[in-house]
Chains A and B, each alone.
Chain A
């Protein structure tokens, strides 16, 4: 029975007729599943879909100006200029004493690079609007990928002997090695304190020696002077380098600086000031941590230094946070020796992975439930056929999503869950019709292949139109604006793909498998 006598009218029947005896069909099926698996494993994973939010913050300082002046001479002209840019949604400014902060954000979905450039251009072209004495504007573009860290690690000293600057130095070394990891964009440190020699002058003693603060400043300045090495030659033309050592090495050197001669005896800096090798205490920003143990008792708040890591756009958060965690584990022994402990306080990669895995689990569970339902209603062979179509459809959808530079996130998977109920429909309808035809009295006179093709062909037209109708309902969702629209975008992007895929899979594989697994009912 090589030729098919039934002539299909619909595309459904034509597909069924072409593939039902083709040796390519199983190869195609395996290939599709393989593509889907590859896409699932290499697509970047995130918790929430990426949103394109463009905008820049402009900071301009005008020392000595009051908030009202700032508003009039900086913000008003600046805002007028920014208003000229196309695509700007809101401009928000804050005028404070001494400085202005203006935030311009674009309509959601505007291209980031172009938007940043527009603002930069506009300000650079109009530098003359700023008043005299204003410090050059700082323009900071907003970049969600780079600005928002995916991992944060808190480092803290395990005993009190370690000073905050020492901890800071250690963390800076760690920062350097983590920054070297693949696809890490920015690493930042929060809560760090630098080394600093603090010269704390006692005003009373200063007055007693009849000295002024200005004299102290001058004498410190004069001694901390650095010069390059001096190069000289010997008689036989050999070079001799003379390095000139900075006179200050430690706090004692500073203390021994002679500030003045008072009644014949030298007054040292240590006579009028306390000198300490300490930290930059004028920096009031601090970070602290309290860690709970297994018994839920917390350590008291102590100083910490937080290292944050952000990723390059379009890279996989899961891989990066894993490699950061691994790197830290490698270093943990040597850190412990130095007396440094750490806690990972944010791990978006892990969170994304968990969210994705949980949803994949839900997806599998749903497929199993549907399969069980079909076993009872249609029989186990039919159930297996329908169940096979689901991974094939999802594989195609995943692959298309991968080609479209999408990521696997919560919303993509919800699009799959949403379409799951819809995409088994086509297969169910085809298999149900085949089932009905096989069990009808006319079945005996027809060949198996003809039956399959006819059954598929019969429901082709309404199924096509109905699927097209569902796709149409999804299309307007693409035009929902604002962040919510961006957030939901994976749904209108992926559901139609899944539905189209479901049609082809139902027409190609369902008759193919059915003709091999199902039998005519004996009459």
Chain B
């Protein structure tokens, strides 16, 4: 070690070659990110003991249709060996969890929705990871069940490893004209559906469906001795039913309602034609003030209209959103694909310009109306978190630099410590690449990898610190020659440096297996390895070309 270092320090050519080698490996590692050799993702999937399937039928579907669809899904799930029980919640959301809270499951209350909770046997006894199971079941179930009712969306919701989001990928479309918004959203939906890696595509807007409107003729009502309230009440009573009275009960906890409505045989329409509606309405008769019976159809008429779709606004702007989940891939890469596809498609009708990192702005060529397409969801959170963590990283570097300047009163030495720490990024990135090679599946660079990287700066600066301190005291106290001192200090200090590195690597070994903190483990292991090499080779070389004698003494 000592001899090797001395020979390295004494030969200018060797030093230059070493520095070049480090520089090249640094460049190569950094290039792995834009070239998509190492993929980035916020957080990887987590192996859960449960997942939820949400079913949304088109608006206006009945609970019977919803039940039929959910039974279809349950039948497929019953074939699974590792499922312990299946619960369905029709017309409402499942018991709330954190993901459900963000996705608005607690607000679900209509006949066309259902949620299915699937509980699996405990993780240790299971052969299949929950996300693999979901990935396998998704096409199977969607294919066999979604076709039962056109326009149904079936989504698979897994408890997220980190904080939950509305969806992996959300594209919000802002604009003033709801018809155009609808059109843009539908186009985006079709692009998402074609994009590889995106699944569970859904659009946050109601389908328009046919409905009938009963128009009350007030003149006829007055003439026939009825009043409008009476007509409305009876209509509601006949088809929906009303609890007209309650009975207190000794036996039961609740009051018992006396609920009046028409028998099914008297109220069910033959089909959804106007004739059938009129047919049933005509059989209902009302008694007027004079005690005479008036058929309902005498005073009302029936008109066919379409339903009013809901209007969504966010931060005071009208909006509609297209949601998609990712199928075991990072959302960044499908997003880039879908985005370029969108730019191409909208070019015909709009002036397309980009805004920020990914967002698009459309200006209509016809009337100059502006529409904004914003990406949100996990995407947004990922970008924000990575930017924040990047900022935290830079802040950490600056803080360490300042600390070193205070301690050493030398910019050059502080710079060396910093550079020695920074170079560990090579190990972090290459580590992820090696893990991908070993595993055969993508090992994502995640937020936890970044946390590991930030922690690494501290660890490797400690190595450099101990080394520089020792070298300095050797020169100043024992009067050794500079190169000798550096080589001797490095050799002596290499033992604790190796030891502490080994401790970190061994402690991080167990992290690698974890879904969420795997990135942290890999970053620490490979980063520490690089940091050790940096402290033992790069730092001595740099020290050699700097001033080590203490100015104050």
Q: Are B63 and A197 in contact (CB under 8 A)?
A: no
Bound-state CA distance A190–B316 (Å) is: 35
Question: In residues 208-239 of chain A, which contact B (Cβ within 8 Å)?
Answer: 210, 212-217, 220-221, 223-226
Contact of B87 among A224, A304, A370, A417 (CB under 8 A): A304
A345/B85 in contact, CB under 8 A = yes
Which of the residues B244, B311, B384, B508 comes within 8 Å of A94, measured between beta carbons?
B311
| Contact status B504-A466, CB under 8 Å | no
Assuming A194-B257, A414-B511, A470-B462, is B90 touching A484 (CB within 8 A)?
A: no
Which residue of chain B has its CB nearest to the CB of A278?
A: B259
Residue tally, chain A, CB below 8 Å to B: 140
- In the bound assembly, the distance between CA atoms of A221 and B257 in angstroms comes to 11
Judging by beta carbons under 8 Å apart, are A418 and B381 in contact? no
Q: A217-B244, A226-B248, A469-B400 are in contact. Are A280 and B259 (CB under 8 A)?
A: yes
Contacts A148-B97, A292-B84; A282 near B240 (Cβ below 8 A): yes
CA distance A378 to B101 in the complex (A): 54
Contact in complex: B265, A202 (CB < 8 Å): yes
In the complex, the answer to whether B504 meets A421 with C-beta atoms within 8 Å is yes
Contact of A198 among B259, B392, B502, B508 (CB under 8 A): B259
Which residues of chain A are near B42, meaning CB under 8 Å?
484
Nearest CB in chain A: distance from B475 CB, A: 15
Report the separation of the CA atoms of residues A471 and B461 in the bound assembly, to the nearest whole angstrom.
12
Interchain CB contact under 8 A, B459 and A285 = no
Q: Say whether A135 faces chain B, with CB atoms less than 8 Å apart.
A: no
Interface stretch among A14-22, A361-369, A515-523?
A: A361-369
Q: When chains A and B are docked, how far (Å) is the Cα of A191 from the Cα of B81? A: 27
Given A203-B284, A425-B500, answer yes or no on A473-B454 (Cβ-Cβ < 8 Å): yes
Cα(A461)–Cα(B516), bound, Å: 36
Q: A225–B267 Cα gap in the complex (Å)?
A: 29
Residues of A within 8 A of B133 (CB): none
**Hey, what's the 0/1 contact readout for B106-142 against A, CB within 8 Å counting as 1?**
1101010000010100000000000000000000000
Asked if B95 and A91 make an inter-chain contact with CB atoms under 8 angstroms apart, the answer reads no
* A202 and B293 in contact, given A248-B247, A296-B81 (Cβ under 8 angstroms): no
Residues of A within 8 A of B509 (CB): 366, 369
With CB as the reference atom, state the residue of chain B lying closest to A253.
Answer: B247
Which of A149, A154, A421 has the most CB atoms of chain B within a 10 A radius of its CB?
A421
Q: Is B215 among interface residues, defined by CB-CB distance under 8 A?
A: no
- With A194-B254, A346-B95 already in contact, the answer to whether A203 and B245 are too (CB < 8 A) is no
The answer to the question of B369 belonging to the interface, with a C-beta cut-off of 8 Å to chain A, is: no
Q: Check B285–A67 contact: CB distance below 8 A.
A: no
Partner of B495, one of A94, A97, A292, A432: A432
The segment from B12-20, B230-238, B332-340 found at the interface with A is B230-238
Expressed in whole angstroms, the minimum distance between the Cβ of A426 and any Cβ of chain B is 9
- Contacts A476-B391, A480-B385 known; A418 to B524 CB distance under 8 Å? yes
Contact of B315 among A90, A95, A351, A484 (CB under 8 A): A90
The contact of A191 among B89, B97, B242, B528, by CB within 8 Å, is: B89
Partner of B107, one of A57, A68, A285, A482: A57
- Given A288-B87, A298-B86, the answer on whether A221 and B254 have CB atoms closer than 8 Å is no
Q: Is A126 at the interface (CB under 8 A from chain B)?
A: no
| CB under 8 Å from chain A, chain B span 232-287 | 234, 237-238, 240-249, 252-254, 256-267, 283-287
**Complex contacts, A273 vs chain B, CB 8 Å:** 260, 263
In the complex, chain A residues 436-469 whose Cβ is within 8 Å of any chain B Cβ = 436, 459, 461-463, 465-469
Tell whether, in the assembled complex, residue B95 and residue A190 are in contact, meaning their CB atoms are under 8 Å apart.
Answer: yes
A148 adjacent to B101 (CB under 8 Å): yes
Q: Is B496 touching A429 in the complex (CB atoms < 8 A)?
A: yes
Q: Is B451 an interface residue (CB 8 A)?
A: yes
**Cα(A209)–Cα(B242), bound, Å:** 22
Which B-chain residue is minimally distant from A346 (CB atoms)? B95
Q: Which residues on B sit within 8 Å (CB–CB) of A418?
A: 451-452, 455, 511, 520, 524
B163 lies within 8 A of chain A by Cβ = yes
A291 at the interface (CB under 8 A from B): yes
Cβ–Cβ < 8 Å partners of B63 in chain A: 284, 286
CB <8 Å contact, A147 and B106: yes
Say whether A68 contacts B308, CB under 8 Å.
Answer: yes
Specify which chain A residues have a CB less than 8 angstroms from the CB of B314 in the assembled complex: 90-93
Q: Is B549 close to A, CB under 8 A?
A: no
B496 CB contact (under 8 Å) in A248, A417, A432: A432
From 186 to 213 in chain A, residues with beta carbon under 8 angstroms from any chain B beta carbon are 188, 190-191, 194-204, 206-207, 210, 212-213
Contact between B262 and A466, CB atoms less than 8 A apart: no
Asked if A267 is at the interface (CB within 8 A of a chain B CB), the reply is no
Given contacts A154-B87, A369-B509, contact A308 B95 (CB under 8 A): yes
Expressed in whole angstroms, the minimum distance between the Cβ of A432 and any Cβ of chain B is 5
The answer to whether B90 touches A290 (Cβ under 8 A) is no
Chain A residue numbers with a CB within 8 Å of B492 are 436
- From 496 to 534 in chain B, residues with beta carbon under 8 angstroms from any chain A beta carbon are 496, 499-500, 502-511, 516-517, 520, 524, 528
Cα distance A207–B504 in the bound complex, in angstroms: 87
- Contacts of A220 on B, CB cut-off 8 Å? 244-245, 258, 260
A274 within 8 A of B: yes
* Residues of the A chain whose Cβ atoms lie less than 8 Å from the Cβ of B457: 469, 473
Tell me the minimal C-beta distance from B241 to chain A in angstroms.
5
Is B399 interfacial (CB 8 A cutoff)? yes
Provide the bound-state CA to CA distance between A80 and B316, in Å: 7
CB contact between A369 and one of B252, B308, B506 (< 8 Å): that residue: B506
Cβ of A268 to closest chain B Cβ, rounded Å = 15
* Docked-complex contact B458 and A288, CB < 8 angstroms: no
Instruction: Scan B281-310; emit 1 where CB is below 8 A from any A CB, else 0.
Output: 001111100000100000000000001111
A-B pairs under 8 A by CB, number: 401
Given contacts A475-B399, A479-B388, A484-B162, contact A144 B101 (CB under 8 A): yes
Q: Mark A158-175, 1 if CB is under 8 A from B, else 0.
A: 000000010001001000
B500: A residues at CB distance < 8 A: 421, 424-425, 428-429
Q: Does B144 contact A (CB under 8 A)?
A: no
Instruction: Say whether A484 contacts B238, CB under 8 Å.
Output: no
Q: Which residues 51-110 in B have Cβ within 8 Å of A in the complex? A: 63, 67, 71, 74, 78, 80-81, 83-92, 95-98, 101, 106-107, 109
Which residues of A305-322 are within 8 A (CB) of B? 306, 308
Is the CB–CB distance between A142 and B101 below 8 Å? yes
Contact of B263 among A148, A203, A479 (CB under 8 A): A203
The answer to whether B257 touches A197, judged by C-beta atoms less than 8 angstroms apart, is yes
Q: Which residues of B contact A79 (CB under 8 A)?
A: 313, 316
Contact between A212 and B287 (Cβ–Cβ < 8 Å)? yes
CB distance from A340 to the nearest CB of B (A): 16
User: B101 to A147, Cβ gap below 8 A?
Assistant: yes
Which of A343, A345, A495 gathers the greatest number of chain B CB atoms within 10 Å?
Answer: A345
Q: Does B465 contact A (CB under 8 A)?
A: yes
A214-B286 contact given A96-B310, A345-B85, CB 8 Å threshold? yes
In the bound complex, residues from chain B placing their C-beta under 8 Å from that of A286 are 63, 67, 88-91
**Which residue of chain B lies nearest to A91 when distances are taken between CB atoms in the complex?**
B315
Shortest distance in angstroms between A417's beta carbon and chain B's nearest beta carbon?
A: 6
Kindly state the separation between the CA atoms of A429 and B312 in the bound complex, as whole angstroms.
Answer: 61
15 contacts between A and B (CB under 8 A): A67-B308, A68-B311, A70-B311, A79-B316, A144-B98, A196-B258, A204-B266, A287-B88, A289-B85, A306-B95, A346-B97, A417-B511, A425-B500, A473-B454, A480-B388
Identify 7 new A-B residue pairs, CB closer than 8 A, beyond the known A169-B253, A292-B78, A378-B499.
A369-B509, A420-B507, A429-B500, A432-B495, A476-B395, A481-B384, A487-B162
Interface residues of B (CB under 8 A from A): 42, 49-50, 63, 67, 71, 74, 78, 80-81, 83-92, 95-98, 101, 106-107, 109, 111, 117, 119, 162-164, 230, 234, 237-238, 240-249, 252-254, 256-267, 283-287, 293, 307-316, 381, 384-385, 388-389, 391-393, 395-396, 399-400, 403-404, 407, 447, 451-452, 454-455, 457-459, 461-462, 465-466, 469, 492, 495-496, 499-500, 502-511, 516-517, 520, 524, 528
Q: Which 10 A-B pairs rank lowest in CB-CB distance, beginning with the nearest?
A: A470-B458, A421-B504, A466-B462, A483-B163, A224-B245, A476-B392, A203-B266, A476-B395, A473-B396, A212-B287
